[in-house]
Structure 1
Amino acid sequence: MTIYYVNSATGSDDNTGTGLKSAFATLSKVESLQLKPGDSVLLAKGSVFNEQLDIKFSGAQGAPIKFGSYGTGAAPVIHSAGDGIHSLYATNIVIENIKISNAGGAAIYGGNVSNWTVRNVEVDKSGVSGKSGSVTFRTGENITIENSKISGVHGDGVWIEKINGVKLLNNTITNSHGPLADGVQMNDSSNILIHGNHIDQTNANSPKGVLTLIRPVNAVVEDNVLTGGGFGISAQAGKTVAIRGNDISGFHGYSWSFAVALGETGNARDYDISGNHIHDGAWGVVVTAPIGSPSYARTNINVHNNTFDDLSGAALKVDRPASGSFHDNTVESGTTATSISPAIIDAHTFTVSNNHIVANVEATTLAAADVKTTAATDAPADPAVVAVHDNLKILSDNGAPHHGNLLENDSSDDGTLALRRFGNETVGKHGLTLSGDYGDIHVERDGSYAYTLDETKLPDGHSGHVSENFSYGITDATGHHSDTDMLTVFVHLDSLLS
């Protein structure tokens, strides 16, 4: 197991490459090596490589070949007129802690590859408009992309095709540009987990959407924030698909724009769509197909325990033959609950039951949290969400806001938290500003806050400190679990008024 070092500034291809002071200079020199399982290739931070890296050799299970970085400073950058990293048939590869920018082709392209992990990689301004993704994997198995950032690329942010075993975890993917670009597209793949990602197409010059799954089998899409685009999730022709606990919003642009849709390109079976917050868009969950399309089967589509608000269309639209149910959902008044064709209503194949119409979704959620808090003395605390007391101590002040985050020390079982109430007011999608006893505070749903002290409100001639309290309420992604606590702001007068 050998470690090879590459430094574009101080290295030389005449070196051995096996020491910090004997680093190679180019990626082409690395390509001349016959890498073996367990070997590592580390690129010096601060280096820039204007060439494509071809990965030709395979690692082994438990002993992958790793490509990463060393040293201090900015991540090493790969530029290339072609692909940034290109590989065919290699297996057991790890790529981590590097940046790929302005690649003329894909940032990463893997064909017929298996057991790859792409971790903590930054990609920007790469890819080709009108072609598939900036990060592309075609044919293989066990591909993981995690904790990476993909932004401002041309073509889809990520393109996955014919892969068995896909994990897309905790990535940020924003603004994938091009006439055919989605944030993420997966075709003909199976055993898929898409978890904890933030995918945003709000400012992309693409007419398409955020996440497209074509013919997925055994797919779970959970706890993601999906924003913008012509649509949120297009999950067509799937089998055993769970879409749960996501926040989907901003899907505008067309009369048909939707948060979640299925039924257009093939048979769809066993969908569980639950616990999502679907808001600020056109249609909610749509089961449909173009007029004149083949007669596909759409069976066991279960839509339940979701929250729908600020929609111009209905929360549920079913206008093609389908079986399933729409139950125990919360729909804000002003949003139509269902739009189901008369033929399907007459066939009694898609049932509607136990849904709740509320005047204000957020106020209702927070009221439920208050009820739970009131009953806490009579029942065990709900451990699924835990809020912890927060303190802000102001020792000096220059007039600038004092920042913090209320959710940093809080926790939830599903890993997702939102600030829903602050100081007995609802925290809306644009945040909330309150005036306190000694200053003004602005909070956002992600828990971030900025407190600006108003020294004209401080008592004259006093020493010691003053304080004020703000109560707050949090929920998990589903809104079914909640907790409350308090932020205390301490202002030390001695240091401010001396």
Structure 2
Amino acid sequence: MITSRTSVLRVAVGLTAGLLTALLPLSSADAAGTATLHVDCAASVPGDGSVGRPFNSLAAVNATRLQPGQSLLFRRGSRCVGTLAPSGQGLAGAPIRIGAYGSGSRPTIDGAGAPDAVLLRNTEWIEVRDLEVTNAAAPGTNRRGVHVELENYGQGRHYVLQNLDVHDIWGDDTKSTSGSDGILFSVIGDQRPSNFDDIKVIGNTVSGVNRGGIRLVVSQWEQRAEVGGAAPYTKPWTANTNIVVSGNDVRDIGGDGIVVLTARDALVANNRIDGFQRRSAGYNAGLWPWNSDGTTFRHNEVSGGETTRDGMAFDVDQGTDGTTFEYNYSHDNAGGFLLLCNASGRVANAVVRYNVSQNDSFRGVEMCSGPLESAHVHNNTIFVGSGRSMTVINETTTAPHQVRFDNNIVLKQGTGTATMRLQPGTAVRTSYNLLTGVGGTFDNPGGSTADPRLVAPGTATSIHDLAGYHLGPDSPARSAGLVIPGNSPYDIFGRRVPTEQPPSIGAAER
């Protein structure tokens, strides 16, 4: 269960899906005097969009230029086949709203194998809610569920995707500005720098997708020194800003779960990912940023990563500065807990703290081939139960890694092994960890191999049920850690973390 202090923490930082939903009402209330257009693709005759004579095809909708403040509503229980590609733009205070009317199930937009089921192109101040979106025909061809695209547009502002059910998007195995994803934001064109500002992807269900679940923003305006030679496009980096991805349920994904790209200060919070890297021949992880600065991932639950071709819950990837993973729960991922990955670019100021990993396999923390400028993995609790094995730190390269691993609990129980694989003279520094049942050669000043005496390790059933990872009253982890400058003021349960005296080791202060 979540303690009351956890609730206080989430309200304090303003991250609960409920709070964000409250800020984004689901109603389709219009500005005074604006028209509402209605669509019922089951209607026998074409109409003018009035409630009594609704449009009866996507062709009629797409031929109508929507005006600021206007609402476009689809009849609940109806099904439209083809691509919804509305034209027109909203304005500040008068967005275009696309949603549903009537009673019953969500109205369905079925792409029927088209490249996009919903395409929002070169528009802004637009909100889409309460639709079912599918695109299952002709599987294996390139396609998306919802695609938001700017081309030589400049800055596009205010995009809301909320309460959508995006499913059965059976695309190919590509990821790009036109890759196959459930929800994709992309920027193309080489004449005018373009970017998104104010994106909210909230409370959606994305399931049965090849390749990616939610990917934003794939941009041709991405090149900078920090990303090295990995960026395929040459236009200068133009950041996408004010991005919130919260409260989404992402399941049964062929490749990546949720990816943030070419962004500044994005927030990814309160999402559930279950089942990813299921069908892709490439490398995919649950949650990760690329070529982005200041990305924060918190209060997410990630499980069911398949294969060791990545397949881990979290990844701090190339071209990133100031990435934070905190208060997340990772479990039952075949590829493990965390990847710190750079080849020829830069990874700097990464922080991974106050997370719980339960029964992840293969690796705890792994590094890619290139150097890591700075990363601090601290105050996490990693439990490896019977029948699971993990290389807790898998340092397979001699490239310089300025990585610290402090104040972590690693507890191995039952059959299987937990080991350290560190290079001689390793740049990975470990201290003040409780490493119980962990083999291999490692230095761990200030730490020990004592039993951390967790209350009930291995018993968590969700991110809302982590009580087994509290420290018992006689735990040697209590108040035994290293003081971390700039540490979070809270642990994973919302308890205060001391700043002037030793904190506890692990994700729980008590």
Q: TM-score, normalised by structure 1?
A: 0.67
* CA distance in 2: counterparts of 1:98 and 1:118, whole angstroms: 10
1:348-363 map, 5 Å: 349-358=427-436
Q: Deviations over 1:3-58 (max 9, x none)?
A: 111122347433x323x323222222222222111111011100100121112211
1:239-388 map, 5 Å: 239-252=321-334, 257-265=335-343, 266-280=345-359, 281-289=361-369, 296=371, 298-310=372-384, 312-318=389-395, 319=397, 320-333=399-412, 336=418, 338-344=420-426, 349-358=427-436, 364-366=453-455
Structure 1 residues 352, 337: CA separation in 2 closer, same or farther (over 3 Å shift)? farther
* CA distance in 2: counterparts of 1:337 and 1:476, whole angstroms: 31
* CA distance in 1: counterparts of 2:210 and 2:450, whole angstroms: 37
Aligned partner (choices 292, 311, 315) of residue 216 of structure 1: 292
1:381 equivalent in structure 2? none
Report whether the alignment pairs 1:480 with 2:502.
Answer: no
Helix, strand or coil at the partner of 2:125: strand
1:72 equivalent in structure 2? 103
Helix, strand or coil at the partner of 2:280: coil
* CA distance in 2: counterparts of 1:481 and 1:71, whole angstroms: 50
Structure 1 residues 45, 351: CA separation in 2 closer, same or farther (over 3 Å shift)? same
Q: Deviations over 1:411-431 (max 9, x none)?
A: xxxxx5315369xx9xxxxxx
- Return the structure number with greater strand share: 1
Alignment RMSD (CA, Å)? 3.0
Report whether the alignment pairs 1:33 with 2:40.
Answer: no
Helix, strand or coil at the partner of 2:410: strand
> Following TM superposition, by how much is the alpha carbon of 1:325 offset from its aligned partner in structure 2, in angstroms?
1.6
Structure 1 residues 175, 329: CA separation in 2 closer, same or farther (over 3 Å shift)? same
* CA distance in 1: counterparts of 2:364 and 2:69, whole angstroms: 48
Helix, strand or coil at the partner of 2:453: helix
* CA distance in 2: counterparts of 1:481 and 1:46, whole angstroms: 50
* CA distance in 1: counterparts of 2:407 and 2:364, whole angstroms: 15
Q: Deviations over 1:172-227 (max 9, x none)?
A: 111122xxx22233333332211111112268333533234222211001111111
Helix, strand or coil at the partner of 2:144: coil
Helix, strand or coil at the partner of 1:54: coil
Helix, strand or coil at the partner of 2:169: coil
2:171 equivalent in structure 1? 128
Structure 1 residues 194, 337: CA separation in 2 closer, same or farther (over 3 Å shift)? farther
| Aligned residue pair count | 368
Contact 1:91 1:114 in 2 (8 A): yes
* CA distance in 2: counterparts of 1:193 and 1:234, whole angstroms: 15
* CA distance in 2: counterparts of 1:233 and 1:30, whole angstroms: 41
Aligned partner (choices 43, 47, 52) of residue 74 of structure 2: 43
2:257 equivalent in structure 1? 183
The percentage of counterpart residues that share the same residue type is: 20
1:85 equivalent in structure 2? 118
Letter in 2 for 1:151: S
Helix, strand or coil at the partner of 1:418: coil
Letter in 2 for 1:50: V
> Following TM superposition, by how much is the alpha carbon of 1:336 offset from its aligned partner in structure 2, in angstroms?
4.0
Contact 1:209 1:228 in 2 (8 A): no
Unmatched 5+ residue regions in structure 1?
A: 290-294, 369-405, 408-415, 426-473, 483-498
1:496 equivalent in structure 2? none
Unmatched 5+ residue regions in structure 2?
A: 1-33, 138-142, 151-155, 188-194, 220-239, 306-310, 438-448, 473-491, 496-505
* CA distance in 2: counterparts of 1:94 and 1:115, whole angstroms: 8
1:90-239 map, 5 Å: 90-102=123-135, 105-112=143-150, 113-131=156-174, 132=179, 133-139=181-187, 140-141=195-196, 142-160=198-216, 161-162=218-219, 163-177=240-254, 181-201=255-275, 204-206=278-280, 208-229=284-305, 230-237=311-318, 238-239=320-321
Helix, strand or coil at the partner of 1:152: strand
Report whether the alignment pairs 1:63 with 2:94.
Answer: yes
> Following TM superposition, by how much is the alpha carbon of 1:363 offset from its aligned partner in structure 2, in angstroms?
8.3
Q: Which has the larger radius of gyration?
A: 1
Q: TM-score, normalised by structure 2?
A: 0.66
* CA distance in 1: counterparts of 2:121 and 2:433, whole angstroms: 51
Q: Deviations over 1:83-134 (max 9, x none)?
A: 1111221111111001011355211111115421110000111141213212
Q: Deviations over 1:227-271 (max 9, x none)?
A: 12222222212110001111112222xxxx332112333211000
Contact 1:194 1:221 in 2 (8 A): yes
